[in-house]
Structure 1
Amino acid sequence: MRRQISAGVLMALALLIPAAPAAAQAVTPGLDADCQTVERKLFKDIRTLVTIDLDTATDTEVRVLANQILAATKAESLPVLSRAMQERLDGTEEDLRAFLKKSMYSAWTVDLRIAVGRTTVDAGTNVQAAAQKALNDGGIDVSLAFLNEGLYVARALDCAAQPSPSASATASPSASATASVTPSATSTATPVPTASASTDTPGGGEDGELPLTGADTGIVAGVGGALLLLGGAGYLIGRRRRSRFVA
């Protein structure tokens, strides 16, 4: 019970004590990944929080310092250092003091490298190049300089290199309108077919008259034959009567 009360008092003290002079610095705006102006996310230099001599400080002072650093790591989403610090706070005072002296910086370095790597997701060429340079160095100072300043400088360069939305929107309608109105140079006019009596009507006669075929032709031929027979018969009958009359 006494340990729980002490931990609560230490946490309150850690929140009341100013973390560092850097927290009072004015934060200038910067650009996010979508090139929108936002407030910069600044990463604290945790080394500035260590204002006591860890060899001579009391256990209470050491625990207050540890809670200050824990609050900073949670605010900056530093998972490795935050988890390690919480484990030491739950352990012995000697283990916590030894962690603050040395091992804390190794865990913090890993967190900073993770934060640098996150900035390269869907980033421009300038951000990727600056982030890779910081990762290659691997130092705490280089990582902090990139996260707090270099990232926003490189991002401004990438955003400036992007095409203007207004220019592309203006060029697109004019190009499409010109293409739709102007006829193609290779297009040819399709001739309109015209009706022709001599070509479209096979076997046609002069002046567009059609020849008689089929059933109509047979009727005419039959009538003509019948008239010939009647004429021949009349000729024979008339000749016979004439010969009788002469005799």
Structure 2
Amino acid sequence: MRWKIPAGVLMALAFLIPAAPAVAQVHAQAPGQNESCQTIERKVYKDIRELVTIDLDAANEAELRLLAYRILDTANAESLPVLPGRLEERLNGTADALRAFLKKDLQNTWTTALRITVGQTMTRAGANVKAAAQKTLDDGTIDALLEYLNNGLYVARALDCAAAPTPTPSATATAAPTAAPSASPGAPGGEGGGLPVTGAATATVASIGGALLLLGAVGYVIGRRRRSRFVA
């Protein structure tokens, strides 16, 4: 608990007083391409070794923590795996544990984080990116890993995007489908099995049927009258 307030101050200093070598490394980068061949701004991975500008053996606790916060800020900004969690564990511990980590384990942990990041770029990648990433992993040095993430990845990706076939619109896809005219059951040459007759045709048939029924009824009445007169 005694480090709660100083830690906040150290974090603020880490943001406000960046190390000069780290700032010098960030140059204006030409835009690159992502895995979908869309133009994006390149992510710049810093050389964390250049942040270590103090004598780790002679540094006091405040200096050690300030350095650790600077490295943590860089690792978070680059979305590096593994390293942020390890740093936070040591920052919550003693000064001796933090000093030991910065002296012995920092570089190995950072290398592991860079290797994982390189491996992630192979997902959904083209042949050139996969080949360049595998070559970098086989080399395994920090310099090779940083060179790939900052430059080699975008060069290989540009080659894959240039070799990718350009999609062309399909003639069948652009042609508007033409609806086939339905054959009417009463039309010449029409096929059977159509829908029943409705509408005006149905009304005409019903009218004719009603007229025939009416004529039949009138004839029946007239016939009965004639029959009755004959009998009488």
If the length of structure 1 is used for normalisation, what is the TM-score?
0.66
- Aligned residue pairs, count: 173
Tell me the residue number matched to 2:7: 7
Structure 1 gap ranges (5+) = 178-247
Identity %: 60
In structure 2, how many angstroms separate the alpha carbons of the residues matched to 1:85 and 1:118? 22
Task: Give the corresponding residue for 2:17.
Answer: 17
> What displacement does 1:23 show?
5.4
- Residue 173 (structure 1) shift: 2.2
Q: Which has the higher helix share?
A: 1
Q: Which residue of the partner structure matches residue 119 of structure 1?
A: 121
Which letter maps to 2:118?
V
Q: Give 2:192's aligned residue.
A: none
Tell which deviates more after alignment, 153-162 or 22-31.
22-31
Q: Secondary structure at the match of 1:72?
A: helix
Query: For residue 47 of structure 1, what is the aligned residue in structure 2?
Result: 49
Provide the alpha-carbon RMSD of the alignment: 1.9
Unpaired runs of at least 5, structure 2? 176-232
> Partner of 2:97: helix, strand, or coil?
helix
- Compute the displacement of 1:69 (Å): 0.3
Q: Which of 1 and 2 has higher RCO (CA within 8 Å, sep 6+)?
A: 2
Runs of 4+ in 1 over 4 A off after TM superposition: none
SS at match of 1:2: coil
Task: For 1:101 and 1:125, locate their aligned partners in 2 and report how far apart those are by CA, in whole Å.
Answer: 38
1:83 equivalent in structure 2: 85
Q: Aligned equivalents of 1:3 and 1:88: distance in 2?
A: 13
Residues 157-236 of structure 1 mapped to structure 2, 5 A cutoff: 157-165=159-167, 168-169=168-169, 172-173=170-171
> Contact 2:81–2:116 (CA<8 Å) still a contact in 1?
no
* Counterpart residue number, 1:35: 37
Write the distance in 1 (CA, Å) between the matches of 2:106 and 2:2: 27
- Quick check: 1:131 aligned with 2:129? no
Q: Is the 8 A contact 2:26 2:44 kept in 1?
A: no
**1:64 — aligned with what?**
66
Tell me if the contact between 1:22 and 1:44 (Cα under 8 Å) persists in the aligned partners: no
- What SS does structure 1 have at the residue aligned with 2:32? strand
- Indicate if the aligned counterparts of 1:41 and 1:148 stay in contact, CA closer than 8 A: yes
